[in-house]
Structure 1
């Protein structure tokens, strides 16, 4: 075989290998929903190798399997199906399939918009009646259902303490405490949620100075650290109502995408349009109607 034929044969073989790799990396479509593209930590034909310093390690190099490592995330008090149902938290196999499918579809759209990198989504209600943190929690839980993905819910609404009703352990210090107190580390404010592969950070106790704290350099560094620490983590920021507070306008700068919550029967089309216009960026990704 001459050099040209060999070269063409190699190109054809490489093309077939890539097409097969793409096919294996895609999740199977469920019902009539769109196909979900592979995420940063998803299973792929080409392994994601971990660099090991052989001079200082007695262990040989290995292949990083995110589905195995993510199972090591601590969850000392997991919720049962009955406990999840009582708190209106979504879970695999739940009876209300329509609700589950709605969150799956939202997850697919957000991932497809972000590409193959990890990202932060800010969720903010446009009304005062919607349970913002429950919707944000369920959105994060939908990402955590993927065995190759972890999720982190960062509650940035210091005016409500509803997150404590959704988490299976007691929480103390949170975002505002961390930003105000430089002696605290991220580990001091990070808690397991009761849902596998989903961690949470509460809003904290510093309510009156939240605007100044969210505007600080330490807050910016916190979000940057959370986004860069794990390539297979999706971050959901739960913000106070967008129309009623200043905090949501400040938190918008830390998000890659923004989703508005619409309490059913509480918000007009004019308010939605005004909020999107006030946002003034291409980060707006859609709305979620809340009960």
Structure 2
């Protein structure tokens, strides 16, 4: 047998052995001759539970929570201009009276340090009858809104003062007392944009004559609990009627984590301040704001 015949016989023998082997294992597929890639780590995990959200700022996939991005989406359809803020004596970043701005910044820092992590509720109530108390409470809320990593909600619980509409750029209707007295109202229906970024407001409502009973109701407690649970970066400011003149303030203190007294210039003595702090009888007292 010459070399060519020997070579062809060897090839035929190898082909025959391969066919027999394939018959025993089953028919081989062409792709079996290629190495299969190992799946990448985590490929068998469940898909993430978030969905893509369309916003006016493009698409944002929720990776690491960024409070400044989320809070920037809070609606403010009628923002006040700097001139309008100045006319209403509302604080704003870059205002000419730096001492006033710094005073509110310091107050914000002290309250936040005392509160620790998470959101909290601070009640502001005046020890006098100064008409500027609501403005002080509003500016306290604005001081938190000026921080891009937090927001504020002013809940006006003084149904005897109607000055809030002059500080807010959006017409308001129903408020706290209406919500508590009417279970058909939703929380969304009583929250309004203020005209200041990251600051929302809830007016006191129209039912002033029954405010004491309404503030004592279970639905009032449910309202405050829900407001605190909605946003982890929100500071809630409760504006209460004057502490020494009304029962409402003593009822509302139960909903506050901290309490700040307003001291109108020339109206309150040191003895009145000391007596009021003693009457409060609570470790919630956080300090005083002296009002001009």
Cα shift at 1:130 = 4.3
Q: 1:267 to 1:110 in 2, by over 3 A?
A: same
Larger radius of gyration: 2
Q: Which residue of 2 aligns with 1:274?
A: 275
- Correspondences of 1:150-161 after superposition (within 5 Å): 150-161=151-162
1:106 aligns with 2:117: no
Cα shift at 1:274 = 1.0
Q: Which residue of 1 aligns with 2:234?
A: 233
Q: Distance in 1 between matches of 2:205 and 2:129?
A: 21
1:171 aligns with 2:164: no
Q: 1:273 to 1:79 in 2, by over 3 A?
A: same
Q: Distance in 1 between matches of 2:231 and 2:186?
A: 17
Q: 1:267 to 1:69 in 2, by over 3 A?
A: same
SS, match of residue 72 in structure 1 = coil
Scaled by the length of structure 2, the TM-score of the pair is 0.80
**What CA RMSD, in Å, does the superposition of the two structures yield over aligned residues?**
1.5
Scaled by the length of structure 1, the TM-score of the pair is 0.80
Q: Deviations over 1:174-233 (max 9, x none)?
A: 000000000000001000000000000000000000000000000001001111111100
Q: Distance in 2 between matches of 1:53 and 1:251?
A: 46
Q: Deviations over 1:12-60 (max 9, x none)?
A: xxxxxxxxxxxxxxxxxxxxxxxxxxxxxxxxxxxxxxxx974684686
- Correspondences of 1:174-193 after superposition (within 5 Å): 174-193=175-194
- Correspondences of 1:111-260 after superposition (within 5 Å): 111-260=112-261
Maintained 8 Å contact 2:50/2:62? no
TM superposition outliers: structure 1 runs of 4+ over 3 Å: 52-61
- Correspondences of 1:2-41 after superposition (within 5 Å): none
Unaligned runs of 5+ in 1: 1-51
Unaligned runs of 5+ in 2: 1-45, 54-60
Give aligned pairs, total. 240
SS, match of residue 72 in structure 2 = helix
Maintained 8 Å contact 2:159/2:208? yes
Cα shift at 1:271 = 0.9
Maintained 8 Å contact 1:130/1:263? no
SS, match of residue 208 in structure 1 = coil
Q: Distance in 1 between matches of 2:168 and 2:137?
A: 13
Q: Distance in 2 between matches of 1:112 and 1:262?
A: 22
Maintained 8 Å contact 1:149/1:233? yes
